[in-house]
Each structure stands twice: as structure tokens, then as C-alpha cells.
Amino acid sequence: MTYMVQLSQFITRSISLFVILGAFLAFLYPAQLIPFGKYIPYLLGFIMLGMGLTMTTEDFKVVLSRPKDVAAGIALRYIIMPLVAWIIAKTFNLNPALAAGLILVGCCPSGTASNVMTFIAKGDTALSVSVSSLNTILAPVLTPFLFLLFAGTVVPIDPMLLLMDIVKIVLLPVLIGMTLRMLLPKQVTACQPMVPAFSVIAIVITVGVVVALNAAKLSSVALIALLAVALHNLLGLGIGYSSARLLKMNESKARAIAYEIGMENSGLAVALALAHLDPLAAIPGAIFSVWHNFSGSLLASFWVKRDLK
């Protein structure tokens, strides 16, 4: 068991390396991965099930003890990132599919990686977990509404179909995971150290499939998509942190909010883009999956070193 835990930790720590390697191989050999496109929603559902396995009713006690902080985090999450994505799409005059994909990333809830980065950066982890948990639960309603608001003029959208997919891909797996943890606490606790590694494998396959589906077009849009995604993420982290400080939150809370704003559930954006939009719209989500782990890690290292000084 110790060996499995160590292997899981290695895979989790090396997520960026594995995602980049998987994307490179998918670009070279797209035909082998294209048939897996239909399994993307199931892979994301598995990731969300893993998130549910880590959640308990304790995570929501912060909502009752610090409702203003949690409400501010959720409001900032769903205001800043969709708006920033829309502004970047307009400024860069992105291809409609790429613009829709970037906006979709901004409309999705925070990613589970935000909790890990907050912990590493010595931020308020309890606040981070509560905000990301509620963001996820609210996503079936807020994500379709915001996507229709910001991207409705770019691509045709059926918000009800989007809502139903988010319920099936996100909400149900999370609720199943929470239920399993309540019914089988010992078994779930024993398996938890390995869950992140399986999530990383699912993310690697997802990104690889997106690259494979767009291999022919990727060379012409990769640079502009990377610039747009990087700017989106960095502005989210910066504006999130600054907004929290303006709201008189302390340093620990501000770091948590920065990650909750800047780190997205990009896997959800990929799954929804493949199901409802042009496959090219999944590219921003795939790039985000790599980039936000890279930038988040660098920011955490900076904050920890500053604390030591």
C-alpha cells in the first residue's frame, strides 16, 4: 500500500509533465486516440466522483461560520472569469470556436486543483474547499446562464441541454461520491490516497483526445490560444487576489480566493465543448489544464518563499 501511495503522489505531482507528454504523443499519433472522444464525459464524471469522495458535510460548516467570505468567493468566481474571457476573446478577435471555448472555461466552476494549490501556498484551505464545493453545486444553473449571456452572440447554444449535461457529468458523480463516503467511510478513506492519480490519468487522456481531434488545425491556432489562456488565467489570479484584499480579507483568505478565481474545472469545459460545440472549442480547456497547474505552482512557490523571508 505504501508503494501505491508513493506512486500516486509521484503521478499527482508530475501532472504537468504527463499532460504535456500525452498531448505531444496525441499530436504525433492522433488516429489512436480519436475513438476515445465519446468517453470524455465518463472520464470527467470519474474525476468528479473522486472530488465527491473527498467532500463531507464538514466542508460546508465554513459557509455557516463565514458566509460573507464564501459568498464573496462565489460571486467573484462567476463575475470575473466569464467577463475576462469575453474581453480577451474580443481583444484578440478569436475564431468563434476558440472564443466560445475560452468563455466556456471562464463560466465553469473552480477546479479541484485550487484546493491543493491553496494548501501548498499556505492559504485558507477551508475557505477554498467551501467555495469550490458550492461553485460546483451551483454550476448546473450558473454555467449555462453565463455562457448564454457571454457567448450567445458567438455560437448557437441550447442552455437546457448544457444544464442537463452538467448535472450528469458533475453534480450526480459528486453526490454519489459524498454518499459513498458517508456509507463506507473506512473503505473510502483507504482508497483516497490513490484517487488523485486516477484523476490525473483521466485528465491526461482527456487532453490527449482533444489534441488528437484537432491535430490538423492545432499548428495554426496553438500560439494565439496559449496566449489567450495564459492571460485569462493570470488575470484571474491577479484580479481575484486584489479583489479579496479590497474586500479587507487577510493574506490567507486572499490567496484562497485567488486560486478559486484563477483555476478552473477545465475538464468540464472540454467535455461540454466536445458535446455541444466545434471540437476546436475544446482547445482552450485542454491548454488550461496544463497551464493553470504550472502557473499555480509557480505562484505557490513565490508565496511560500516570501513567507520564509
Digit-coded pLDDT (tens) for 17-47 = 787 888 888 888 888 888 888 888 888 888 7
Structural domain boundaries of the chain?
A: 35-308
Distance CA 69, CA 195 (A): 29
Tell me, what's the pLDDT at 59? 64
**Diameter over CA atoms, the chain:** 53
264 phi and psi angles, rounded to 5 deg: -105, 165
The mean pLDDT of the chain is 85
User: What is the predicted pLDDT for the residue at 188?
Assistant: 81
Tally of CA atoms within 13 A in the half-sphere of 121 that contains its CB: 31
pLDDT for res 168: 85
Q: What is the pLDDT of residues 234-253, one digit of tens each?
A: 999 999 999 999 999 999 99
Output the pLDDT for position 243: 96
pLDDT value at 261 more than 60: yes
Average confidence (pLDDT) over 284-288? 88
Average pLDDT over residues 41-55: 80
Mention the CATH class of domain 35-308. mainly alpha
Give the Å distances, CA to CA, from 288 to 105, 139, 141, 250, 284. Answer: 8, 18, 23, 28, 6
In angstroms, rounded to a whole number, what is the distance separating the alpha carbons of residues 168 and 153?
A: 26
Confidence of residue 82 (pLDDT cuts 50, 70, 90): very high
193 and 5 Cβ atoms separated by less than 8 Å: yes
Compute the distance between CA of residue 5 and CA of residue 54 in angstroms, rounded to an integer. Answer: 16
Q: What is the pLDDT of residue 308?
A: 65
Cell numbers placing 68? 460573507
- Reply yes or no on whether the pLDDT at 259 is more than 80: yes
pLDDT in tens, 166-199: 888 888 888 888 888 888 888 888 887 777 778 7
pLDDT at 254: 95
Looking at residue 309, what is its pLDDT? 62
| pLDDT at position 260 | 94
**109 within 8 A of 123, measured Cβ to Cβ:** no
Give the C-alpha separation, 274 to 278, whole Å. 7
Lowest mean pLDDT among 47-61, 129-143, 150-164, 237-251: 47-61
pLDDT of residue 16: 72
**pLDDT score of 15 more than 90:** no
Coil, helix or strand at residue 60: helix
